[in-house]
Structure formats: structure tokens, C-alpha cells
Amino acid sequence: MSVDTVMSPETTTALTLARDYMAKPKQLLIGGKWMPSLAGETLESLDPATEEILCHIPAGGKEDVDAAVRAARNAFDSGPWALMSSRARGELLWKLADLIADNAEELAALETFDNGSPMAATRYMVKVGVETLRYYAGMATKIYGQSTDISSDFGEFHAYTRAEPVGVVGLITPWNAPLTVVCNKIAPALAAGCTCVIKPPEITSITVLRFGEIVQEAGFPDGVVNIVTGLGTTAGAAIAEHRDIDKISFTGSTAVGRSLVRAAAGNFKRLTLELGGKSPMIIMDDADLDAAIPGAAMAIFANSGQVCFAGSRLYVHKKVYDVVVKGVAEFSKALRLGNGFDGQTHLGPLVSQKQRERVLNYIALGLEEGGNVVTGGKACGDRGYFFEPTVLTNCKTDARVVCEEIFGPVVVAAPFDNIDELVNVANDTPYGLGAGVFTGDISTAHKIAKRLRAGNVWINCYGILDASMPFGGFRESGWGREFGPEGIDAFLEKKAVYAKL
């Protein structure tokens, strides 16, 4: 499919800017300077919609990470960042947000090239990043300690606490929303006064490198923000094991999260982990099906299912089960797959051939385990990593397609009879990131929400996020919370101070 179909003039201009940027040599950002990796190696970045090479990015290694950490440590310990007021930090974050908003169309186009999401989706995700930066720009001046009266046999004291930045932080981000997640992590880190080493995903690094240029344009001091692209097994591992990094904030798979826990033991670095999910979407018999059916469909099919909290397990009351399954299947058939630059596209491709093979393997497993494909289940298109939205039924509760995160447009549907049965199966997972409930009874909704073991529960909607609300998971879906006051607390240490009077 040509990328020159059904495009607005704004999109055409953004496309030109994005192509011009991708044609430029890509380098690492270390200590305020752009430089190649020390080993001189590069990685290909592919367009998942066309399989064409977009550009080459540096394959940074341990030595590059060492240099980036030294730059971040120097910026944290001395120089203008260490002396900067909280107000000035907030003003810089606000300026960064304004610049991203000014370049939003170009950034959205880069993101569409890089991970395949439709422009409507990438525009929205850029907007989310801007809103997060602005939220924490305001939070920079609202970091408080407290004073307290203490009882002591040793005299009278003035006692108080201070909230101080944790130090140098490593930010390791995922490929499904590269720019947005960088904004979500860097905003509270910089508001708190930390310095950063960003390791973007090797298959979708382009937008984050452009983000680095905008950081410099905003006027952040050298070394405050550093970007090292490369493989997770090299650059990512070097960040995880580095003894001069005080904290890591990671979004990605549960398997990699476990490896970070082991690596962090070296210097007991702090961890925030936003990991995988196998989230239940629940439809009661009294739900408004005109809202519930498209809600359930897009809970899993949005971004081609490449969402950590995707509603990948659909539980429907047996009275409306057949109607809902048929409705979700019909809705999925109406979704148009295509290049993200086509304004009529609903779903883009999966991010890579590897990811498409993973989804195909799970479909084969589901069939082997007795499942039934109601619709979809196949790769499609002559080029690009496209995959049909898929609905599976008749799967056993212990089937791998039911228990494991697929990270593709595949939903497994099953009926339930009563709320106790529902809660048991919904919670029968090692994950606990998201859950959705569609019902016409608000009392039922809140009772179910209370019993679900998930960090985020959506009632008569799905996937709504806001910078003021904490986001994170229970159990193997992660440690800690992002967004809200909890998000900046993760980048702060509390210090107790005792002054004898």
C-alpha cells in the first residue's frame, strides 16, 4: 500500500520532515554531544508496514553506557543542574512540552514509520507525552518534607525530613509506545532533580533520538539527559549492572523484569517495573452491549494488541455470551488493516517479523490445545507484518493462550455463570495489570472492582489513563507506580534531619 494515499497537507509536511530526519546520520547523545558508538557498529531500523530500512542507529555498548553514566553523574553532582531551583526545572520541563507540541506532527510521523501505529494513534500518544511533561513540570515545585515534634531523653530537637533526588537513573523503554513512555519516565525523574541515561528499544529508537534534539533545544544542561541506543543484551545489560546508576525505571516484559531484579542486587539500585499483563475484560448480562462490544474489541485490538494492559481475556455472562462473541468478531472484521499513513487505517502491523511469528505460534498452540478460531488467526498482506484480529473460543483455563501474554491482536473468550466464578477465573493469573467491567449496575461494578487483583480497573470503558492517577500492576505485572504523586516519589529519597537545640 502506498503511503501517499488519503493524507492531509499537514501529514504530507510531517512525512517530509520525518524522512529528512531519518536520512541524517544517527548518533548517541552523551554529555550534550552527539557521537557514534565507540565500536562503530549500527543496527537496522525497519518500517514494519513495508519491511524497508528506515535508517541505521548506533549499537551502543558497555563503554558507551559508561561514558553516559559519567556524564549523568557529573551533571547530578556538580554544575548548573545540581544548583538549579525546582522552579527552573519546572520551567525547562514546560518548555520541553511546548517544543514537543510544536513538533507533534513530525514526531507522530516518525513513530508511525518506526512502529507502524496509525497516525491517529501516534498523534494521541504524542499528546499524552506532552500532558505528562506539563503535569510534572507543575509537580517540580511541590516536593515537600515535613517537620515533626519528637520525644527524646537527650534534649530538645528540631526534626524534619527532606525529599531528595535518588541520583542517576536508567530509563529502559519499550517499542510499543517509544516516545510516550520516555516522556512518562523522564518527566518525574527530571522534576525530582535526577539525571538520566535513556536506553530506547533497539527496533524503535528513531523518535527517542529526535526527542534528544528537542531536549537540547529546550536548554537542559549537558549530561542531564543522555541517550544510548543498542541491544538490550549489551546496552540494556550495562545499564542494569552499572554500579553508578542509582535507580532503573523499566517498561517491558516480565522475563526482562526478573533479570533486572537480579542485576540490581549489585548495588541495591531502586527499581520501578511496569511489566506484562493478561488482563480480563468482563461483560455482565445487564451491560449496554452497544458500548460493551466495541469496548471489548478495542481493549484488545488497539495498537494491534501490542499493549501491556490489553484486555486479552474476555469473560462474558452466559446469557449474552453468543451475542457478544459474534459482535466482537463482526466488529473485528470491519477494522481496516493498513499503512499507518493512510487515514482510513484502523490497525497497523505488528512491530516485527519476530513478533508476528510469536503470534502465529500462539494461534497454533491454541488450536493444538482444542481452541476454536471464530475469526482471524492469520498473517495477511504481501509485505509488512500484518496480522488479522483474532477471536478464540473453547480454550481450557490452563491453555497457554489463556495464561500467557501474547502481545498481539488475539482475544480468548469464555462464558461465566456468576460473580464468584467470574472473580476466580479473572484472578487466576500471575499478572495483575488491568481489568475492565461492563455492567448496567453500578453496585455490581464496584463490588467486582474491589475483588479484582489488578492495579487498574475500568468500569464501562477501557484503557483510560491520566497523569494524575497512579498506574502499575499487582504481582508479576510489576513493582511500583508511575504517574501521579506516586510517580515522582519513585525518584526521591527521604532524609531525616535532627538538629539539637
- Choosing from 196, 308, 405, 476, which is the catalytic residue? 308
C-alpha cell at 182: 520516555
Cα–Cα distances (Å) from 96 to 53, 102, 170, in that order, read 30, 10, 20
Helix (H) or strand (E) holding 227, with range, is: strand 225-227
- Choosing from 274, 405, 476, 482, which is the catalytic residue? 274
Helices within 193-253 (DSSP H only): 206-218, 237-241
Q: What is the DSSP string of 362-378?
A: HHHHHHHTT-EEEE--S
Matching residue, cell 537527650: 154
Matching residue, cell 511496569: 274
Q: Is 482 among the residues known to form the active site?
A: no
Q: How many CA atoms lie within 13 A of 429 on its CB side?
A: 31
Q: Is 308 among the residues known to form the active site?
A: yes
Strand order in the sheet with 492-500: 147-148, 157-165, 492-500
- b/e map 247-258, b = 16+ CB within 10 Å: bbbbbbbbebbe
Relative to beta strand 270-274, strand 478-479 is: antiparallel
Residue 20: what residue type? D
Relative to beta strand 386-387, strand 270-274 is: unpaired
Cα–Cα distances (Å) from 12 to 15, 118, 155, 340, 381, in that order, read 5, 14, 72, 13, 24
C-alpha cell at 77: 553532582
Q: Which residues are catalytic?
A: 274, 308
